[in-house]
Amino acid sequence: MSERKQIYLDNAATTAVWPEVVEAMLPYFTEQYGNPSSLYFFGQNAKNAISDARARIAKHLNATTQDIYFTACGTESDNWALKATADAYQSKGRHIITSAIEHHAIVHSTEWLAQQGYEITYLPVDADGLIDPATLEAAIRPDTILVSIICANNEIGTLQPIRELAAIAHAHGVLFHTDAVQAVAHLPIDVVDLDVDMLSGSAHKFHGPKGVGFLYIRKGVRTRSFLHGGAQERKRRAGTENVPGIVGMAAALDACMARFDQRVAHEVVLRDHLIDRVLAEVEHVRLNGHRTLRLPNNVNISFEFVEGESLLLSLEQQGVLASSGSACASGSLDPSHVLLAIGLPHEIAHGSLRLTLGEETTIEDIDYTVEAIKQVVEQLRKMSPLFEDFVAGRKAVHAVK
């Protein structure tokens, strides 16, 4: 029996753990399984592995080694950055600024902070998903303590002018955090050049294992312990370290950065080929996110008169795995807050598809996917009463490219 075709185009949800990463991790499950807090050599081997991983990760980000703190995921890093910093700086003020297109790890943290009496400003974005730095300047108040802006959007791929935004926050003496979970290993990240105070990352978005992430906290930023217990992570994040995970995260980042230029160039060519073909060959579609200021592997397109969930399921039948928005948001029938924030009407937001490529994706995969999309969209539109109305001239088409 021939194997079922599978084209994985959901690398923003998670990525495959590369074999060299698994290989680097294995000894820390089976041989070097000591607890890094144990004083005998067996524990010290594990401790050294963590120190080595911390130094390598820091180097890739141009950070000071001691400023990298390991966490269990990007969600934890985001929660820590917001909640613990809000707590540590509350005597200065209780106002936090973020954007309308953050990941739920930020959105739900700010909603929780609002319940605790903090005031949150959500900066709007334009139709491409970009924040106008002038809106940040205007939103800062004497009681603003923190600005948190996503570096690269997980749904529409738009890249924010982080350096410029951080400079504005700092000119007013306000701390700046960026959720770089989709950006690390996909864009060059230099924390000194960006001049950010905190930056979140997560290994499973760049071919490392699930269940491990990091938070960069610049020296001098006051932050409370997020988990209380042992003295791990310089008493700032208690809990026995995920040694294999941390080793795997460093190995994954090493591998990604070693072939960064080729990988990104390959993804950009395929991304643009996919965008160009769909825009040229399918009617009533719209590219979401900025055309060039976007993640190298992100494509997000809305198809009018098509329901996103049906599109996904039909594509899956053809072996193409994609997403209708953020993986974390799937299962919810509400349209994505990111697509609404860029001004899409509900019905168009519902017909959106996110395809995120990887180093393994080939041009044949892309061409196959375009043919599958064309076929599936045509079939679904044939069953759509809205499309029927449109064809009969009874309903005006939305302004879509």
Nearest approach in angstroms of CB 209 to ligand PLP is: 11
Set 73, 151, 256, 328: catalytic member: 328
Name residue 68's beta-bridge partners: 216
Q: Which is nearer to ligand PLP, 53 or 105 (CB)?
A: 105
Which residue bears the tokens 């699930």?
210
Q: Which residues contact 400 (CB under 8 A, 6 or more apart)?
A: 284, 285, 286, 302, 304, 348
Residue 328 is a catalytic residue: yes
Taking alpha carbons only, the member of 3, 5, 36, 12 closest to residue 329 is 12
Nearest approach in angstroms of CB 327 to ligand PLP is: 6
Q: Which is nearer to ligand PLP, 354 or 381 (CB)?
A: 354
Taking alpha carbons only, the member of 337, 386, 373 closest to residue 103 is 337
Cα angle value 97/198/102 (rounded, 5°): 45
Q: Which is nearer to ligand PLP, 45 or 298 (CB)?
A: 298
Q: Which is nearer to ligand PLP, 209 or 308 (CB)?
A: 209
* Angle of the 363-382 helix axis to the 308-317 helix axis, nearest 10: 130
User: Distance between CA atoms of 122 and 246, rounded to whole angstroms?
Assistant: 33
Taking alpha carbons only, the member of 232, 255, 256 closest to residue 242 is 232
DSSP state letters, 220-251? T-----SS-SSSHHHHTS-S---HHHHHHHHH
Which residue bears the tokens 């144990």?
38
Q: Which is nearer to ligand PLP, 189 or 306 (CB)?
A: 189
Nearest approach in angstroms of CB 324 to ligand PLP is: 14
Nearest approach in angstroms of CB 13 to ligand PLP is: 7
Termini Cα distance of the chain: 42
Strand-strand pairing, 298-303 and 352-356: antiparallel
Q: Which is nearer to ligand PLP, 75 or 242 (CB)?
A: 75
Cα angle value 123/357/106 (rounded, 5°): 25
Binding site for ligand PLP (CB under 6 A): 73-75, 78, 103, 105, 150, 154, 179, 181-182, 202, 204, 213, 327-328
Nearest approach in angstroms of CB 260 to ligand PLP is: 20
Task: Determine how many CB atoms are found less than 10 A away from the CB of residue 31.
Answer: 10
CB closest to ligand PLP, residue no: 74
Nearest approach in angstroms of CB 99 to ligand PLP is: 12
* Residues assigned a catalytic role: 328
